Chains A and B, each alone.
Chain A
Amino acid sequence: EVQLVESGGGLVKPGGSLRLSCAASGFTFSSYSMNWVRQAPGKGLEWVSSISSSSSYIYYADSVKGRFTISRDNAKNSLYLQMNSLRAEDTAVYYCARDDSLGAKDYWGQGTLVTVSS
């Protein structure tokens, strides 16, 4: 059974940093591109970042470029999101999601809440 479990969320002050993790199991993690998608309270879904299976291709939404860094450790079946210079507008539930072979997100974690507030 495919499982994605996020962790690392919490309350952080504006300008602070946080590192999210996503532990994957039930599939060959090193064969799939992965993503971070976020959802601000009461709002819609926003794609944040994607990373290819071997980390060769990495992409970011303009809203986080230069502040967030996506990475993965295929030996540990883990995906990460390093978030720096956090702003109030980064407050959201952050989901990790797997890409199917074509790019649709076929499995999602349960999400981890990041709150940026003083």
Chain B
Amino acid sequence: DIQMTQSPSTLSASVGDRVTITCRASQSISSWLAWYQQKPGKAPKLLIYKASSLESGVPSRFSGSGSGTEFTLTISSLQPDDFATYYCQQYNSYSRTFGGGTKVEIK
């Protein structure tokens, strides 16, 4: 199975900060990677698909990049609504593994 490793696991940041989260795959997944945002008690929300495509309705401050085994999610200017947990997920193989998550906290 493909393993997905996210870093950091927790990130403290302030409103307006540029934030970058990294996701590494244990083998190449081409660009078959999605990013999700989850708030407490809520279902995950799709932000980015195919590594860098922005889901409809998602603010443009979110962006994704990477291919192969290294991927990043960037929030260009952190807003109060962005404090949440973020997950990457690969869909290159039938086993759709998620990363362990990155919690973005208020500094």
Contacts and interface: CB of A to CB of B under 8 A. Distances in A.
A45 B1 contact: no
Contacts, number: 60
A111 B43 contact: yes
Classify the secondary structure of B's interface with A: loop
Contact of A100 (B49, B99, B100): B49
27 contacts: A44-B87, A44-B98, A44-B99, A44-B101, A45-B36, A45-B44, A45-B87, A45-B101, A50-B94, A57-B94, A62-B1, A95-B43, A95-B44, A100-B46, A102-B32, A103-B34, A103-B91, A103-B96, A104-B49, A104-B89, A105-B46, A105-B89, A106-B46, A106-B49, A106-B55, A108-B45, A110-B43
Interface of B: 1, 32, 34, 36, 38, 43-46, 49-50, 55, 87, 89, 91, 94-101
